[in-house]
Amino acid sequence: MSHLPQDAQKIEVAGSTVDFYTYMKDNTTVYQFDTSMTGPPEPMVNAMAGLKLIDSDDKILVMINHKAPGGLFAKVQENYNHTVENIEDGKVKVVFSYIHGESEKADLSDNTCH
């Protein structure tokens, strides 16, 4: 998988349909997955599964996707910070981070696209 450092390790994530990886960057645990080659609902399903891992300030979730997932943002914008960066091949890199007191309130069971 591109965009991964050499020390990234594959991990099992409950409910995911793509491979997830973890690695350290500075003092932050990074969880990363790539849904750029999948169609709905897989980006949403995998993002919701991955967001369950982000339970503190020192963890982030990186999603590589074919476009910015607007439906996902609408569901989690109150509970997680996110940034979007355009990367090569027309893909986007979305980084989700924890919001103390808000991330805990997220309903991550609703992983359907509307």
Partners of 29 in beta bridges:
24, 59
At the second CATH level, the architecture of 9-99 is 3-Layer(aba) Sandwich (3.40)
At 113 the pLDDT is 67
Q: Has residue 111 got a pLDDT over 90?
A: no
SS3 3: coil
- What is the pLDDT averaged over residues 34-53? 96
- What is the pLDDT averaged over residues 96-106? 96
pLDDT tens digits, 58-90: 999 999 999 999 999 999 999 999 999 999 999
> Regarding beta strands 80-86 and 92-98, do their DSSP bridges make them parallel or antiparallel, or are they unpaired?
antiparallel
Q: State how far Cα 50 lies from the chain centre.
A: 5
- The H or E element that residue 16 is part of is none
| Cβ-Cβ contacts under 8 Å for 45 (sequence gap 6 or more) | 15, 16, 17, 111
- Sketch the domain layout of the chain as residue ranges: 9-99
pLDDT tens digits, 1-36: 467 999 999 999 999 999 999 999 999 999 999 999
